[in-house]
Amino acid sequence: MSNEFRESAGGLSVTPHALPTSSSTTYSSASFADLKDKVSEDISAASETIRSGADSAIDKVKEVATEQTSFAARRVGGVAKALEKVGAELEGSEQAEVGRYARQIGQSVQSFARQMEGKDLGEIANMAEDFGRRQPLAFLGIAALAGLAASRFLTASAERPRETLGAAGSNNPPPSANAGGTEL
């Protein structure tokens, strides 16, 4: 509360400053309520936008994951067909027993590949576990083939740098920039 000082004929007089009226207090309360409502609306709109964007991103991730599992299913199906073909060729040769197993493994893998189409990763993991229980021989055969493929890949990758050095004509390391033999 502030006071106003006025000079009058009898000297200095003090008058108290008028307090805000109830109409100005009502105006302040109304504008505060409006501001509060506007902020609440803005927060709701922002939350909805974020929620919508998150839902869109989740849908896109699911779509990509489904595409990838379908791609993997086609690749597994191709491996299965190759196993069946090798099995059929081996059955016609002196290794009929091995050929029969290879063909059976190929058929089991082909069935698994068809079931894999359109599934999510959790369902595929459960299917693989179930497949291993129902077809232990096929599961072991696939594991052996996967190990062989990984071994071949790693071996081929490890040989590449040596071949590059051999192509240069020397297995010696390149001369250093400090060929004079002095240390810096």
Give the per-residue pLDDT at 37. 86
Q: Which residues contact 103 (CB under 8 A, 6 or more apart)?
A: 83, 84, 87, 88, 91
pLDDT along the chain (184 residues), means of 10: 52 50 57 85 86 84 80 86 87 86 85 83 84 83 77 73 52 54 51
Per-residue pLDDT of 50-100, as tens digits, reads 888 888 888 888 888 778 888 888 888 888 898 888 888 888 888 888 888
Give the per-residue pLDDT at 173. 55
Question: Residue 88, Cβ neighbours under 10 Å: how many?
Answer: 14
Residue of 133, 149, 145 whose CA lies nearest to 101? 145
